[in-house]
Amino acid sequence: MTSKDARVRVRILALSDMSKRMAFRFAAWLATALAVWGSSLLVSVALLDSRLRPSALSFHIVLMAALGSLPAFIAFPFRPAWALEAVRRSDREAAVESWLDYSGGPAERMLETRAAEALSIAALNGPGRPRPSRAARGVVVGLFAFAAVSFMAAQIASIRSGCGVSLSYPVKQMPDIVIERAEIYDDGSRDLVAPGTTGFPEADRGAPGERRYAGSGSQEEDALAKPVFAADGGEEEEATESGRSNGDERAERKMDVAIRGTGTGKGTASSEGGEPADDGGEVAGRDSAGEARAPGWEGSGSAIDASPLVDYRTRFERQLAETSGRETILGDAPSAEMVAEFIARFYVSFEARVAIGSTANPGIARAEESWRRAFGSEAAE
C-alpha cells in the first residue's frame, strides 16, 4: 500500500463514520417527526368536540415544522473530535494516528507502513461503528416509543369518535345528528303507545277508524281523516242502513258537501277553530273570505283542492306574495313550469354567496396564480 492509498483509506474511513453519524441524526429526526405527528393526531382527535381543538391549519403547520427540521438535524454543529474517534475505533495500536500526526521526518516511512497495515485490517474488519451517547440513544428510542403509542391511541380514539383511521387532520365521516324531540305531546299522547290501556269504554270502540286518538278534538275537526269519495244524495241513508259507523257517515257527509262546495264556492268542512260546520256562508275549512283553514288544506281558489301538492304550492304562493308584495303574482292557474321558475327565483335569495373582491396587491395575485400553476394539484397532473 502506497502513501496515496493510505490517504484514500483514511478518507473512506472518515466518510463511512460520517454517514453513520448522519444516519443516527436522520433517525433522531424521524423519531421526532413521528412523535410530533402521533401527538398532533392524538390531540386533534381527543379534542374533536372541544373548543380547544386545534385547527387544520395549525395541525399542518406543526407537522410541516417537524418535517422541515431535517436540515437542522443533519447540519447541527459537528464536533472536531469525530475524526480522531473514528481513527481510534479502527486502529487500537495508534499506528494510523501516529502517521497522521507525524509531520515529516526519518520515521515517516516506518509509520506509513504500520498505518497501511492497520488500515488494511480495518478495511477487512470494517470500521468501528460510532456509538452515540446512551442519553442520545435513549431519547431517540423514547421518541419512537412515544410516537408508536400516541399513534395507536390516536387511531383508537379516531375510530371510536367516527373519524375512521386518521393519517392527517381528523375529520368526522358522519356528522352527529342530534334529534331533539319536541315536547308537544301531553300525557294523553301515551295512549298512542299503549292503545289498549287507555281505558276507552267498550261502547266507544266502534269500527276501525272511529276512535279518536288521545281523546283530543272532535271528529268534526278531523281534517286528516281518510277522504271517502261518495256520490251525492241518498248515500247518507244508504250508509246508515249498511251498518257503517257514525264516523264514516260524518266523513262522507263532509266530503259530500265539500265536493258540492267546489262547484258552488261553499265548503262544509269544519273550521280550524273547531266550530261546527253549517250549511251557511261561512262553512267549515273556509272563512268568510273564502280562505281554507283546515291544517294541510289551507289556501284559496283552486288550492282548496284535496291535494298536498296544491297545498304546498299555496304555501309557497303566500310566501312569494309576502316577499314580492304582489298578491296574485302566480295568477289563478299557475302551470308547473311557472311555479318552478318562481321557486327558483324565490329561493335564490337564500343561496350563500361570498363575494371575494379582487386582491388589492397585484403582486400577491400574481404569486397566487404562479403558485397554483407550479404546485397546484392540477399542475402535477
- Residues at the site binding another protein, with contacts judged by CB under 8 A: 6-7, 10-11, 14, 17-18, 21-22, 56-57, 60-61, 64-65, 67-69, 71-72, 74-80, 82-84, 86-87, 99-101, 103, 135, 168, 361-363, 366-368, 370-377, 379-381
Cell of 99: 502517521
Nearest to 342 by CA among 325, 351, 328, 329: 329
CB nearer to another protein: give 84 or 338.
84
Contact 141, 30 (CB under 8 A): no
Cα 173 to Cα 165: distance, rounded to the nearest angstrom: 10
**Closest to another protein by CB, 79 or 160:** 79
Q: Shortest gap between Cβ of 378 and another protein (angstroms)?
A: 9
Report the residue number, 240 or 359, with the smaller CB distance to another protein: 359
Q: Is 94 left (phi over 0), alpha (psi -120 to 50) or beta?
A: left
Q: Using only the alpha carbons of the chain, give its radius of gyration.
A: 44
How far is it, in rounded angstroms, from Cα 308 to Cα 314? 9
Number of neighbours of residue 295 by Cβ within 10 angstroms = 12
Nearer to another protein, 87 or 320 (CB): 87
Query: Three-class SS of residue 292?
Result: strand
State the nearest-atom distance from the C-beta of 197 to another protein, in Å.
59
- Please, which residue, 30 or 228, has the CB nearer to another protein? 30
Query: What is the closest distance, in whole angstroms, from the C-beta atom of residue 68 to another protein in the complex?
Result: 5
Shortest Å distance, C-beta 88 to another protein: 12
Measured from the CB atom, the residue of 71 and 243 that comes closer to another protein is 71
C-beta of 138: minimal distance to another protein in Å?
12
DSSP code of residue 110: H
Shortest Å distance, C-beta 106 to another protein:
18
Rounded to whole angstroms, the Cα distance separating 61 from 56 reads 9
